[in-house]
């Protein structure tokens, strides 16, 4: 569910409300959310500490703690991190973890499908968090240039859809923004990565940055579960061009939009604007 724009929105919304508040209690109703650590150890390590900073890498949220520790969260499909100013507010049915700040409210990890994860590690030690260790370039950073993309797709026989979903290449893209980016760049999802011409690579590079930037400005896309750190919906679902719009008309040319499985994921595209 949450892709880069959603995770970045959660980061920005939590930043003003969860830092520098001593953690007075840690509850873990769904113990499997905590990876590779016993719950009592997890609680002991966090108790009395404060979050000093909150950063993001791809779809991972990283809470910096004292003593050189970091709490790494991944929301997977339906995870939400929401700050409640009043701990007395009833908990959602699927609340996986709670970080209580006493009279200063609490941070809750809610997750219907329970795929979300929490890792407590020493600062920068990500080898045990497989996906984070091998994460590719940040698409909104200076490092992500069209030349970088041109180099990355070289000799890649994978379909461009699968290539863009692979977090080892570019960090943070998911099914929605890959489809939106390919539509904007007018590239068919089943083209092989290596078949893209320079002009297409430039368009794709530009499209990825534009789509992600606009989605962040819109506070992300709420189709169902996603919420900001304040529990509010995003607005970018109102500006999607093709995702979830099978059967509707292409906003560019008016042809009926189609969808099919590509690289194992439902993929939306315009058969006229995005030729194979």
Q: List active site positions.
A: 2-3, 59, 265
Q: Which is nearer to DNA, 30 or 49 (CB)?
A: 30
Complete edge-to-edge strand list for the sheet that includes strand 69-74: 53-57, 60-64, 69-74, 117-122
Nearer to DNA, 59 or 205 (CB): 59
Q: Which is nearer to DNA, 134 or 147 (CB)?
A: 134
CB of 250 to DNA, least distance (A): 19
Give the residues lining the site for DNA (CB under 7 A): 1-3, 6, 32, 58-59, 74, 76-77, 93-94, 112-115, 130-131, 156-159, 162-163, 165, 167, 174-176, 193, 220-226, 263-266
CB of 234 to DNA, least distance (A): 7
Cβ-defined contacts of 132-136 (< 8 Å, 24+):
132/57, 132/58, 132/60, 132/72, 134/167, 134/168, 135/57, 135/58, 135/60, 135/167, 135/168, 135/171, 136/58, 136/166, 136/167, 136/168, 136/169, 136/170, 136/171
Please state the closest distance from residue 21 (CB atom) to DNA, in A: 27
State which residue, 6 or 106, has the beta carbon closest to DNA: 6
Nearest distance in Å: CB 168, DNA? 8
Of 111, 117, 262, 271, nearest to 190 (Cα)? 262
Q: Given the complex with DNA, which of 13 and 100 has the nearer CB atom?
A: 13
Please name the residues in contact with 38: beta carbons below 8 A apart, sequence gap of 6 or more.
Answer: none
Instruction: Find the shortest distance in angstroms from Cβ 218 to DNA.
Output: 12
């Amino acid at each position: 569910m949450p892709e880069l724009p959603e995770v970045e929105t959660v980061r920005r919304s939590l930043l003003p409300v969860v830092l520098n508040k001593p953690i007075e209690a840690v509850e873990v109703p769904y113990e499997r959310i905590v990876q590779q650590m016993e719950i009592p150890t997890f609680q002991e390590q966090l108790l009395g500490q404060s979050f000093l900073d909150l950063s993001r890498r791809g779809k991972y949220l990283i809470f910096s703690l004292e003593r050189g520790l970091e709490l790494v969260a991944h929301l997977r499909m339906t995870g939400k991190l929401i700050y409640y100013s009043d701990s007395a507010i009833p908990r959602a049915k699927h609340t996986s973890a709670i970080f209580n700040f006493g009279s200063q409210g609490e941070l809750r990890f809610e997750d219907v499908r329970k795929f979300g994860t929490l890792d407590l590690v020493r600062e920068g030690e990500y080898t045990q968090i497989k996906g984070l260790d091998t994460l590719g370039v940040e698409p909104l950073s200076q490092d992500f240039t069209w030349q970088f993309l041109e180099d990355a797709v070289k000799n890649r026989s994978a379909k461009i859809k699968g290539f863009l979903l692979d977090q080892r290449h570019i960090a943070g893209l998911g099914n929605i923004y890959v489809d939106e980016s390919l539509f904007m760049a007018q590239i068919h999802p089943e083209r092989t990565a290596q078949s893209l011409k320079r002009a297409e690579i430039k368009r794709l590079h530009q499209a990825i940055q534009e789509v992600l930037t606009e989605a962040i400005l819109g506070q992300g896309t709420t189709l169902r579960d996603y919420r900001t750190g304040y529990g509010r919906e995003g607005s970018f679902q109102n500006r999607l061009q093709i995702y979830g719009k099978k059967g509707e008309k292409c906003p560019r040319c008016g042809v009926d939009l189609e969808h099919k499985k590509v690289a194992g994921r439902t993929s939306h595209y315009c058969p006229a604007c995005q030729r194979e």
